[in-house]
Chain A
Amino acid sequence: MRCRDGGVLTMGAGALSPHCPVSRRAALGLGLGGTAAILAGPRAAAQGAGVPRRGGHLRLAGLAGSTADTLDPARMSVANDFVRGKSFYDGLVALDDAMVPHPALAERLDTDDFQTWHITLRRGVTFHDGGPLTASDVVYSLSRHKDPAVASQQRIAAQQMRDIRATGPLTVEIGLVGPNVDFPAILGMDNFAVIRDGTRNFSSANGTGPFICTGFQPGIRTTGRRNPDYWGAAAWLDTIDLIAISDDMSRHDALLSGDVDIIGSANPRLVRLLRTRGFGIMESPVGTYTDLAVRLDQVPGNNADFVTGIKYLVDREQVRDSVFLGFARIGNDHPIPPEDPYFAADLPQRAYDPDRARFHLKRSGMSGKDLAFFCSPAALASVDIAVLLQYAAQRAGMDVGIRRMPVDGYWSQYWMKMPMSFGNTNARPSADMAFTLSFSSQASMNESRWRDPRFDALLLQARGERDDTVRRRIYHDMQAMVRDGSGVCIPAFTTSLDAFAPQVRGLRPNRAGQLMGYGFTRSVWLDDGGTHR
């Protein structure tokens, strides 16, 4: 079956794939119109318009950078890591603006049963060191995620791949533990980028990507130049220079003073200032959310009334407008964002209801107990949301304390360990991944320790379901189950903000993450060809 963009994603035996870009796109058209964020700013109209120009040097200042910066695709975890990854490496599959998988280093993916996948690699692709891309590189790149010493961020997802073997110089066969229609989306995750067979030293990057790494100093800077032999559409920029400035004020100052051209994670409070000074703002509707997890296996979460009461306490409009200053979309206590094609739009929106909250909290009998929300600047905006919740709880007749913990050690010491803690979850490439990683009974990140065998069964069923209508119905039910059953409260999905100087062109919002799903270096250009300096 042939899809748009000339890419071929064949699903053998004539089965209609739910993953053919055309079918997904068609589905997406319904839900996206009203909610997709658009580029804003004084030059919004000019953005994306105009003829791209080759040349120039682009400087990015991201938010997080430290000696933990890495060029190892398996370990990439912060935005700048992914920007490096997207610049220097390619995956077998690439996700487009709407998270639809397209073939990249893989020319074709064939499967009969969604359990055994045959991958045919693109011919004539070379690594930056000149070596040709072969099946052994792919086998090495994927297999290493299962090795604990590699410390892969995607070890859990990788464990789905039971065996990975080369069947020819350019063909790889992957056997999964069970059928998974969404497998191409997993391969499209940045952590599964392809590296050269046997690579252990990541002091530089040897990938196949559109840029060649010319310098990498962890916590300081990364530089790259355009790969003249790139197999795909060549990048416009000559050179790139990535740094991280964690201090909010300094990062914005660097943009305002012209020291950098684009910054990630712009502060919502500074959006108006940046716009009046002629800078552009890109709003990306990413599926990242900050949530309150009430553990169902501990006091007070083991009381159903308490959990229901807490969910009614959240004033989602207020979270969106006061905490995120409007740069967010309201959540319905399940992890599927409104832009997702599988979003259950007809599910009633849970709203702030002080009377019901008071009723349930009173009936729970937890009043007067020593209760606390654990929050931290480590989980975006969680401190502010905790304050709103505390106030709402007070008005509903319950005193809950706030424990504001330091960034350092929050994830390992408090998150998911305390009875009520805030978490922050990144956008997942598919509904399957969102449910698998954070809500299935075995999920290590099952924040509220919610266990529902029916949910697990539905998850497996959907994973192997070829009929998109049936999948849609299953995902609809699963969203309802998470919303009502789990102890996770998802008030809003954040809208990621990036700010850029007027000469930067070609930026488009992407659901996968900020900075065009971290891949902006592949398609932006400088309007003045870099002559402004």
Chain B
Amino acid sequence: MTRSLGPLILGRLAASAFSLAFVVVTIFAITAALPGDVADTLLGQSATPEAAASLRHAMALDQPAWLRFWHWAGDMLHADPGRSLLTGRPVAELVGPRLYNSLLLAGATAAVSVPLSLALGLACTMARGTVFDRAATVLMLGTVSVPVFLIATVAVFVFAVQFHLAPALADINAVHSPLQFVRVFLMPVATLSGATTAQMSRMIRACMIDVFSAPWIEMAVLKGVPPVRIVLFHALPNAIGPVVNAIALSLSSLLGGVVVVETVFSYPGMAGLMVDSVAARDVPVVQCCALIFCMVYLALTTLADVVAVASAPRGRDR
């Protein structure tokens, strides 16, 4: 087993490095192709052609794109993401706190939604075809179908405006105790968990049912093994690979794909930073955000694959 894992991880790392390089070049090309640049943003309506040109010159934006990329990539190799064109502050200083906030929100959401969707998915598998399974399916499809902004807005209206149970803003500075943490994160995490849980539990259910159709499960049933034991000790170990993959895919979007929730709750996360920076054409920040999203995605999927290989009983037997 250890023999087969080493090359796998190495191979994945090499592929990841290639993917990162590809993403970085693509992002740079796309931002360069966008109309306008940071000089236009800074000057706004007072952007006369000559004012914009002299500002561009002062910011070295009039250099050819490949040269700017070269400088940026060189700095990046020394782990220096450079300075924001907009604020002149180090990119790391801008991204750091936002990354922490995003990881906190994603972590809290994962802590709620992973156990919940595992439980739901397994329960649906065991009770497949029953009223419970159908009700759960309808509920989950319904949750996935309702746009997140609607859930979030209604949640704020009901719980914050009408009943004052939770704050309308997810003010991370107000968190000084575990209870306050729950209060502040209750609504954003609930909103995000709704869609994530629905998605994951559907996939878990599908994976498990797939495994259940295998002959050795039928064998176990015929032997008279109790259903709970079949699910936990016979089916689940064989389904870990696909299940972990499903979880990884769902979680990977929690960092960069939650701009709606960040907006509604005024939560200062990475997704909002990325959107702001694209709008302002602040290319170094866009690049840094994209790189982090890409790295997290690659790390999660690689981890899922490693877990899948390591846990698969068939792989072990070989």
Q: Which residues of A contact B (CB under 8 A)?
A: 61, 66-68, 70, 75, 77, 148-149, 151, 153-156, 202-203, 217-221, 243, 245-247, 249-250, 253-254, 256-260, 407-409, 411-413, 415, 423, 425, 444-445
Are B272 and A254 closer than 8 Å at their CB atoms? no
Nearest Cβ in chain A — how far from B59, in angstroms?
Answer: 7
Q: Which residue of B lies closest to A218 (CB)?
A: B87
B236: CB under 8 A from chain A? no
For residue A67, which residues in chain B have a CB less than 8 angstroms away from its CB?
Answer: 84, 86-87, 94, 273, 276-277, 280, 282, 285
Task: Say whether, besides A246-B263, A247-B264, A149 and B59 are in contact (CB < 8 Å).
Answer: yes
B141: CB under 8 A from chain A? no
For residue B48, which residues in chain A have a CB less than 8 angstroms away from its CB?
Answer: 156, 444
Nearest Cβ in chain A — how far from B288, in angstroms?
Answer: 12
Q: Which residue of A lies closest to B49 (CB)?
A: A444
Q: Which residue of B lies closest to A244 (CB)?
A: B266
For residue B51, which residues in chain A have a CB less than 8 angstroms away from its CB?
Answer: 148, 155, 444
Task: Say whether, besides A67-B277, A156-B46, A445-B45, A245 and B266 are in contact (CB < 8 Å).
Answer: yes
- Bound state CA distance, A156 and B44, in angstroms? 13
Which B98-131 residues have a C-beta within 8 angstroms of A?
none
Q: Which residues of B contact A (CB under 8 A)?
A: 34-36, 39-48, 51, 54-55, 57-59, 84, 86-89, 94, 97, 153, 156-157, 160-161, 164, 167-169, 171, 173, 263-266, 268, 272-273, 276-280, 282, 285
Are A151 and B39 closer than 8 Å at their CB atoms? yes
Nearest Cβ in chain A — how far from B168, in angstroms?
Answer: 4
- Bound state CA distance, A408 and B37, in angstroms? 11
Are B160 and A253 closer than 8 Å at their CB atoms? yes
For residue A148, which residues in chain B have a CB less than 8 angstroms away from its CB?
Answer: 51, 54-55, 57-58
Known: A67-B280, A253-B168, A254-B168; 20 extra A-B contacts, CB below 8 A, are A67-B273, A67-B282, A68-B86, A148-B54, A148-B58, A149-B59, A151-B42, A151-B55, A202-B88, A219-B272, A219-B276, A220-B268, A243-B169, A249-B153, A249-B156, A253-B160, A254-B169, A257-B164, A409-B35, A415-B45
Nearest Cβ in chain A — how far from B184, in angstroms?
Answer: 11
Nearest Cβ in chain B — how far from A212, in angstroms?
Answer: 18
Q: Which residue of A lies closest to B43 (CB)?
A: A151
Are B42 and A75 closer than 8 Å at their CB atoms? yes
For residue A413, which residues in chain B have a CB less than 8 angstroms away from its CB?
Answer: 35-36
For residue A156, which residues in chain B have a CB less than 8 angstroms away from its CB?
Answer: 46, 48
For residue B265, which residues in chain A have a CB less than 8 angstroms away from its CB?
Answer: 250
Nearest Cβ in chain A — how far from B22, in angstroms?
Answer: 25
For residue B264, which residues in chain A have a CB less than 8 angstroms away from its CB?
Answer: 247, 249-250
- Bound state CA distance, A250 and B168, in angstroms? 8
For residue A151, which residues in chain B have a CB less than 8 angstroms away from its CB?
Answer: 39, 42-43, 55
Are B46 and A259 closer than 8 Å at their CB atoms? no
- Bound state CA distance, A196 and B148, in angstroms? 47
Are B89 and A203 closer than 8 Å at their CB atoms? yes
For residue A260, which residues in chain B have a CB less than 8 angstroms away from its CB?
Answer: 169
Are A411 and B266 closer than 8 Å at their CB atoms? no
For residue A257, which residues in chain B have a CB less than 8 angstroms away from its CB?
Answer: 156, 160-161, 164, 167-168
- Bound state CA distance, A245 and B268, in angstroms? 11
Nearest Cβ in chain A — how far from B289, in angstroms?
Answer: 11
Q: Which residue of B lies closest to A256 (CB)?
A: B161
For residue B41, which residues in chain A have a CB less than 8 angstroms away from its CB?
Answer: 68
Are A149 and B58 closer than 8 Å at their CB atoms? yes
Could you list 14 A-B pairs, sorted by A, with CB under 8 Å?
A: A77-B44, A151-B55, A156-B48, A218-B94, A220-B97, A243-B169, A249-B156, A257-B168, A259-B160, A407-B279, A408-B278, A413-B35, A423-B45, A444-B48
- Bound state CA distance, A77 and B264, in angstroms? 24
Partner of A217, one of B46, B55, B59, B268: B268
- Bound state CA distance, A243 and B44, in angstroms? 21
Top 8 nearest A-B pairs (CB, nearest first) are A148-B54, A149-B58, A444-B48, A412-B40, A257-B160, A66-B276, A257-B168, A412-B36
Nearest Cβ in chain A — how far from B72, in angstroms?
Answer: 18
- Bound state CA distance, A444 and B47, in angstroms? 8
Q: Which residue of A lies closest to B163 (CB)?
A: A257
